[in-house]
Structure 1
Amino acid sequence: MPDSRPFHVPATHGFVRVVAATPVVHPADPVANAAEHITLIRRAAEQGADLIVFPELSLSGYAIDDLHMQEALLDEVDRQIEILTAVADDAGLVAVIGAPVRSGDALFNCAVVIGGGEVLGVVPKTYLPNYREYYEKRWFAPAPARTEDSVVLNGETVDFAPGLIFEAVNRPGFVFAVEICEDFWAPQPPSTRAALAGARILLNLSASNIVIGKADERAMLSASQSSRTISAYVFTASGWGESTTDLAWDGQATIHELGARLAEGERFALTSHLTVADIDVDRIGLDRLRNGTFAECVRSEGEAATVIPFAARENATAPTSLRRPLDRFPFVPDDPARLDQDCFEAFNIQVQGLMRRMTATGARTLVIGVSGGLDSTQALLVACRAFDRLDLPRSAIRAYTMPGFATSEGTRANAWALMNALGVTGEEIDIRPAATTMLRDIGHPFADGQPVHDVTFENVQAGLRTDYLFRLANQTGGFVLGTGDLSELALGWCTYGVGDHMSHYNVNGGVAKTLIRHLIRWVADRELVGAEAVSTLHAVLETEISPELVPAGADGKLQSTEATVGPYALNDFFLFYISRFGLKPSKVAYLALQAWGDASRGEWPVNTPEAEKVAYDLATIKHWLRKFLLRFFQTSQFKRSALPNGPKVVTGGSLSPRGDWRAPSDASARVWLDELEANVPDA
C-alpha cells in the first residue's frame, strides 16, 4: 500500500530526524537548565525533529559533586521534568533528558524519556566510574542496585530499568534505547543488548570531560558501536558552563550510522546549539535482515527487554529536504584522503587477483583487447602492474586493437598510444572483413550494402573480437583478460557468450564505471606504470563512453552508451542502493532526487568536476530507474549467472553468482516496477 505521507517528506522513506542537543550548563540550577532545554526543544521542533537527546545530568549539571545530595535541588529537578514533559508534548517530539532520580533510599543517574505528555520511562546508568577523576559512587547507585523496576516521578509510576526499548507504533523502525556515558566504555555496553533486542537508534547522554585525544576516542567508539550493532549511535556530551574546578568540557556531539558519521556538532561552543541528522532506520533494518551473523547473535545472546510503545506525532513543519551526507557517487568517496585510500586498495585488489590467477595457472602471457576506452585501459594498467610485480616482461602482454565499422580515429589512436607507452606487444586486427563475411553468411542485409545497424550487426563485431582473443590466447599459451565493469554487468550491457561478457579472468567485474575514471586518474597521477602513458591516460578520460559499434550518423555524433542505458552516474547510484541495501525503488528515486535534483547544490561536496553542474529532475530519474529495474531484475540476470572469475572490489558490489548477488535468470521485475509507479509521482 502506498505511504500516506507526501513523497518529498523524509519520514515517508523511513528516516527519523534526530537531534543531539548541547545546552549551556548552569551548575546546580535546574530552572535555568530547563529554560535552555525548552529553547532547544522548540528549536528542534521547528526543524522537524522526531527525537532530541540532551547530555548526562543536563537538568542539574554534572560536575556539582555533593550538591546532588541536596533535597531542594532534587525536588526542583522533579518539578522541571514535569514542565519539560508538557513542552515536549506541545513540540510534538520525544525528548531524552539527563537527571538525578530518587528511588527508595537511593539516587540514580538517569535518562528520562518524555513524549506524548508523559514520562515514557526512566533508564538508570549501569556502570558508574570511580577511578581517576571520577567519583560517581559517592552520590549514585548503579542500575543493578535498584530494588524496583518502576519509579514514581511526579505522581506517575513509570518503568525504571536499563535496556528499555522505546518503539513508535506508527513509524516502523523508529525504535531507540538509551545508555549513559560510562556505559559506553564498558566491555559489554548496555546498548549492545538493546540493539539485539531491536533498538535501531542508540542514544548516549554523556558528560565526559575533555582531555587531549579523547574526542577521537569518543568518535571511534561511536562509529564502532554503530557498525558492530548495525545501528545509529547518537552521542552528546556536556559543554560550556559546566564547572571547571578540576575538569574541562567540549560539548562534543556526533551522530553515526552503520559506522559512518552523519553529523558532528561544534566543540567548545559558548552557546546552546543542535546537531541534526536524518537516520535511515529502514536501511538499518534491511542491513540486519541480510546479516545472518546479527540474527544468530540475537538468538544466542539476546535477552527479553521491556518495550515501551509510543505514538510519534506528525510534525506540522515536516521537512522536505534530507539532513544527512548523501554522495552523488556512492562508489566514489568525496573525501580526497578516503578516495586515495580506496583507489590504492581497489587497484591492488585487481592487481593481486590477476597475479594469483597467473601463478595458479602458470601463465606467462595474457591477451587483452584494447579499445582506447575506459574499461580496457584500466584492465591494461592492472596487467602491466601485475607483470611488473611478477618480474615478467610487459612484452608478454599481447594487446590487440580491433577496429570495426564504427571505430573512431580518436579511440584507435588512444589504443595505440597506450600500448606503445606501456611497452606491451601491440597488434591490430581489422575485424571488418570477417564481420562482413559472417553477416553475408547469415543473410544480413548490411552485407548487401543496406545500412541496417541492428543488434545482430553490433553483436557480430563484439563477438568476433572476443572470439579472436580466445583463439589468440590458445595460440600464445596465455589467457584472455576481461575488461567489462560492474556497471555494465548490472545493466546487461555486454554481449553474451563469446562476447565482451566472457573472458578467462575479469579484473574489472567488481569495479563501478564511476570509480574506474578515478582509478585511471589515480594511476596516472602516481605514474605507477611509467610516466610515458600519463598524457594518453588523460586523453582516455576525456573520451565519451561509446561501444563504437554503429557508424556515426549524418550529424557526425558517435553512438552513445548513456543515451541508451542512461547516465552511469544515475545507474551506479541505483545499483548501490538496490544491490547493497535492497531499498524500494521509490526510496531510491527519492534519494536520487536529493542527490541530483539541484545542479547548484553547494552544501554537499561533489567529487567529480564534470558532474558539478549536472542535475536530474524527478521525471528523468524515474524514467532511467524504470529502465534500470527492468534490465537489472529481468533481462540481464542470465548473463551474470555465467560470469567468469574476478575479484570483488567494492562493498556489496559483487554481482557474481558466487558472491554477493544470487538471483534466478528468469525472474520478473514486476514487483519493483509496480512499487515505483505506485509511489513515485511523475514530477
Structure 2
Amino acid sequence: MTDRLRIALAQMNPHEGALRANAAKIRALRAEAAARGADLLVTPEFSIAGYPPEDLVLKPAFRAMCEAEIEALAAETADGGPGVIVGGPWKEGEKLYNAAFLLDGGRIVARRAKHELPNYGVFDDKRVFDAGPAPGPVAFRGVRLGLMICEDWWFPAVCETLVESGAELLIAINGSPFELDKGERRIDLAVARVVETGLPFVFLNQIGGQDELVFDGASFVLNADRALALRLPSFAETLAVTDWTREAGEWRCAPQPLAQPLGHEAQIYAAMMLGLRDYVEKNGFPGIVLGLSGGIDSALSAAVAADALGPERVRAVMLPSPYTSAESLEDAAACARLLGIRYDTVPIGPAMEAFHGMLAPLFGNRPPDITEENIQSRIRGVTLMALSNKFGEMLLTTGNKSEMSTGYATIYGDMCGGYSVLKDVYKTDVFAVSRWRNAHVPPDARGPAGPVMPERVITKPPSAELKPGQKDQDTLPPYDVLDAILQGLVEEELSVEELVARGHERALVLRVWRMLDRAEYKRRQAPPGVKIGRRAFGRDRRYPITNGFTGLIA
C-alpha cells in the first residue's frame, strides 16, 4: 500500500475523429508527466476521439481504430512510467459503451463504462451508447480509484456505489460543455458528492471547440474537507501535476494556486474566441471573411476573429448601398484600422440597379417594400460567398440571438456563412461584451492590445440601413425589453401570463412570441454558432417548423 501519489491532470483539446493526432497528444502529455515525476496521467472523457462522437461511434472502422490506438498507448506503459486513464468506445457483445480505460504495465488494466447517460439539451448519449453497470473502484498501484465519466457524478448513486465498494479517491473525466456560470454549478454539485461520500474529488474536463459546443476546462480538485485544492484556468490547455498523501487513512491533495474564474463578459468572449479558432483551424480554413457594416454586431465579430486567429487571417468587406450612411463608412474603416485587418470595399449599387431592371417587368407598379430590402441583403450574401469561394476564407456570419429569435434577418442574405460567433448572444450582451473588449485584452488574444471599435459603434442606434432613416427599433422593441422577454420565452419556457406578471405588456409578449414562432424555418437554415447560454438554437432548442400550437394565448 502506498501513501503518496502524483497525479497529472491533462486539460487537453482533442480534435474530433483525428485519432492518431489525439493519441500523439496523449503520448506527449504522458512524456511530460513522466518528466515531472507523475505516477498517473488522467485525460478527459473520450479523449482518444473527442467528445461528443455522435454517429462516428456507430462506424465499426472508427471503433476499431480507436481500439488500436488505445492498445498502442497501453503497450507503451510497459516502460514503467505513468499509468494513463484514457476515454473511448468499448464494444462488448451487442453493447456499446462510453468507457474509461486504465492503462498500466503494458496493458489495459481495467475498463469502466458510463452508467448515467445524458439525453437532454445538447446530449444524445442514449442514442449511440448503452448504459454500463454501476461501477466499482479500480486498483492502481495500491490505491482504489473511484473512476467515473461525466454524468455519473451529477447524481449521488454512482458515487455512493463507489464509496460503499471501497473507493478511496473519486476521479471524474468529463466532456462538459460550456454554459454561462456553469462552473459554479459544477463546484456546488462536487461539494455535495464530497459531503455524501467523505472522499476527495477530481473533476477533469476537456477544452476546445467542437462545432457549436465549446468546452471550457475549468478543472478542479476538492479535498475531503470540501476545500478547493486546485482550479485550472478556463479555455486553456494545461497539464497540472498534483501531489497526494494518505494521512490517517484519508487522501489529501496538496493545495496549489487557484485560477480565478472569469466574469460574465469575459466568459462570453473567451468562448467565442475558442469556438471560432477551433472551427477554423480544425477544418483547415486559411482565415475568415466577413461583411463589416459599421454596426456593432459585425464590429464585435471582427474583433473576435482577429483575437482568435490573428489580424492577418481576417478580411473585412464594406458593401455600401445608396442607403449606407457616412457614419457607417467611417466607423467600418476605423474598426478595420484598430484591428489591423484587411479592409476592402465593394459597392452594391450596380447590382441593385441590375435587379431593379431585371424584375421591373414582373413587379410593375408595385411600391418598394421588404422585397427590395432583402434583395440588398442577398446581394451582399452572394458577394461575400463569392470572395469565400475564390480565396478559401470561411464566411463569418454576424447576426445575434435577438435577431435570430425574432426573424430579423434575411435568409440567403445576412444569414449566409459557415459559422457565427454571436448566434447565442443577445443584443444586450453584444453591447456589454463590446464595451468589455474595448477595455480589456483576453490573455490568449492574437489581436490588438487596445480598443477594437470606436465608441460611436457602441452608442449609435442600431440600423440595417436597407432604406432611408431605418432603425432596428422601427421593427423591434427596445433591446433591453426584447431580450428580457426572449430570455423568458427561450431560456425559461415561461408562459405569456408569467411574463405579464413580471411587468411586460401582454400585447408585446404575444407579438414577440409570434415572431419567435414564425422564424423557426430560418433558424433551421442558419449556420452553426457558439453555444453560450442554457438553450442555444439548434442543439438545445428544437421546435417544429410546421406548428399550429397557440397554447400560450390565454
TM-score (norm 1): 0.42
Q: 2:540 aligns with which of 636, 660, 665?
A: 660
Deviations 1:188-228 (A, max 9, x none): xxxx99xxxxxxxxxxxxxxxxxxxxxxxxxx99x947998
Name the residue aligned to 2:527.
644
Q: Is the 8 A contact 1:445 1:452 kept in 2?
A: no
Q: Does residue 521 of the first structure (1) align with residue 435 of the second (2)?
A: yes
Q: Is the 8 A contact 2:320 2:346 kept in 1?
A: yes
Deviation at 1:670, TM superposition (A): 2.2
| Aligned-partner residue type, residue 435 of structure 2 | R
Name the residue aligned to 1:501.
415
Q: 1:348 aligns with which of 262, 270, 276?
A: 270
Higher-Rg structure is 1
Name the residue aligned to 2:511.
627
Q: 1:438 aligns with which of 335, 350, 355?
A: 355
Q: 1:475 aligns with which of 373, 390, 397?
A: 390
Question: Larger deviation: 567-576 or 373-382?
Answer: 567-576
Q: Does residue 426 of the first structure (1) align with residue 356 of the second (2)?
A: no
Structural mapping, 1:591-606, within 5 Å: 591=502, 593=503
Q: 1:668 to 1:537 in 2, by over 3 A?
A: farther
Deviation at 1:566, TM superposition (A): 1.4
| Aligned-partner residue type, residue 627 of structure 1 | R
| 2: CA distance, partners of 1:504 / 1:398 | 15
Q: Does residue 530 of the first structure (1) align with residue 530 of the second (2)?
A: no
Deviation at 1:405, TM superposition (A): 2.8
Deviation at 1:407, TM superposition (A): 1.1
| 1: CA distance, partners of 2:338 / 2:499 | 43
Structural mapping, 1:332-343, within 5 Å: 341-343=263-265
Name the residue aligned to 1:364.
286
Deviation at 1:502, TM superposition (A): 2.5
| 2: CA distance, partners of 1:400 / 1:227 | 50
| Aligned-partner residue type, residue 448 of structure 2 | G
Q: 2:299 aligns with which of 377, 380, 387?
A: 377
Name the residue aligned to 2:134.
none
Q: Which runs of 4+ in 1 moved over 3 A?
A: 223-229, 450-453, 531-534
Q: 1:582 aligns with which of 493, 497, 504?
A: 493
| 2: CA distance, partners of 1:640 / 1:228 | 39
Q: Is the 8 A contact 1:374 1:517 kept in 2?
A: yes
Please state whether the residue corresponding to 1:386 is helix, strand or coil.
Answer: helix
Q: 1:225 to 1:648 in 2, by over 3 A?
A: closer
Q: 1:568 to 1:521 in 2, by over 3 A?
A: same
| 1: CA distance, partners of 2:506 / 2:416 | 31
Name the residue aligned to 2:371.
456
User: Over the residues paired in the alignment, what is the CA RMSD in angstroms?
Assistant: 3.0
Please state whether the residue corresponding to 1:353 is helix, strand or coil.
Answer: helix
Q: 1:651 to 1:228 in 2, by over 3 A?
A: farther
Q: Percent identity?
A: 25
Deviation at 1:668, TM superposition (A): 2.8
Q: Is the 8 A contact 1:365 1:476 kept in 2?
A: no
Q: Is the 8 A contact 1:470 1:480 kept in 2?
A: yes
Question: Larger deviation: 661-670 or 487-496?
Answer: 661-670
Q: 1:586 to 1:360 in 2, by over 3 A?
A: same
| Aligned-partner residue type, residue 356 of structure 2 | L
Structure 2 residue runs of 5 or longer lacking an equivalent are 1-155, 158-183, 194-259
Structure 1 residue runs of 5 or longer lacking an equivalent are 1-191, 194-219, 230-336, 389-393, 552-557, 594-617, 676-683
Deviation at 1:531, TM superposition (A): 5.1
| 1: CA distance, partners of 2:463 / 2:366 | 19
Deviation at 1:568, TM superposition (A): 1.6
Q: Does residue 414 of the first structure (1) align with residue 331 of the second (2)?
A: yes
Q: Does residue 405 of the first structure (1) align with residue 359 of the second (2)?
A: no
| 2: CA distance, partners of 1:643 / 1:380 | 19
| 2: CA distance, partners of 1:501 / 1:477 | 19
Name the residue aligned to 1:146.
none
Please state whether the residue corresponding to 1:645 is helix, strand or coil.
Answer: coil
TM-score (norm 2): 0.51
Deviations 1:409-461 (A, max 9, x none): 11121001111221111011110110111122111799x9x894411110010
Deviation at 1:366, TM superposition (A): 1.4
| 1: CA distance, partners of 2:366 / 2:439 | 43
Please state whether the residue corresponding to 2:413 is helix, strand or coil.
Answer: coil
Deviations 1:516-556 (A, max 9, x none): 1111111100145435645x4322101111111011xxxxx
Q: Is the 8 A contact 1:406 1:550 kept in 2?
A: yes
Please state whether the residue corresponding to 1:399 is helix, strand or coil.
Answer: strand
Q: 1:434 to 1:444 in 2, by over 3 A?
A: farther
Please state whether the residue corresponding to 1:495 is helix, strand or coil.
Answer: coil
Structural mapping, 1:75-474, within 5 Å: 224=188, 341-388=263-310, 394-443=311-360, 452-474=367-389
Name the residue aligned to 1:206.
none
| Aligned-partner residue type, residue 537 of structure 2 | L
Q: Is the 8 A contact 1:630 1:669 kept in 2?
A: no
Deviation at 1:395, TM superposition (A): 3.0
Q: 1:526 to 1:451 in 2, by over 3 A?
A: farther
| Aligned-partner residue type, residue 501 of structure 2 | Y
Q: 1:539 to 1:531 in 2, by over 3 A?
A: farther
Name the residue aligned to 2:250.
none
Q: Is the 8 A contact 2:496 2:506 kept in 1?
A: no
Q: Does residue 543 of the first structure (1) align with residue 460 of the second (2)?
A: yes
Name the residue aligned to 1:177.
none
Please state whether the residue corresponding to 1:574 is helix, strand or coil.
Answer: helix
Please state whether the residue corresponding to 2:464 is helix, strand or coil.
Answer: coil
Q: Is the 8 A contact 1:374 1:540 kept in 2?
A: yes
| 2: CA distance, partners of 1:407 / 1:451 | 24
| 2: CA distance, partners of 1:486 / 1:453 | 28
Q: Is the 8 A contact 2:437 2:451 kept in 1?
A: no
Q: Does residue 564 of the first structure (1) align with residue 444 of the second (2)?
A: no
Deviations 1:143-193 (A, max 9, x none): xxxxxxxxxxxxxxxxxxxxxxxxxxxxxxxxxxxxxxxxxxxxxxxxx99
| Aligned-partner residue type, residue 648 of structure 1 | K
Please state whether the residue corresponding to 2:389 is helix, strand or coil.
Answer: helix
| 2: CA distance, partners of 1:510 / 1:576 | 11
Q: 1:526 to 1:416 in 2, by over 3 A?
A: same
Q: Is the 8 A contact 1:637 1:664 kept in 2?
A: yes
Please state whether the residue corresponding to 2:399 is helix, strand or coil.
Answer: coil
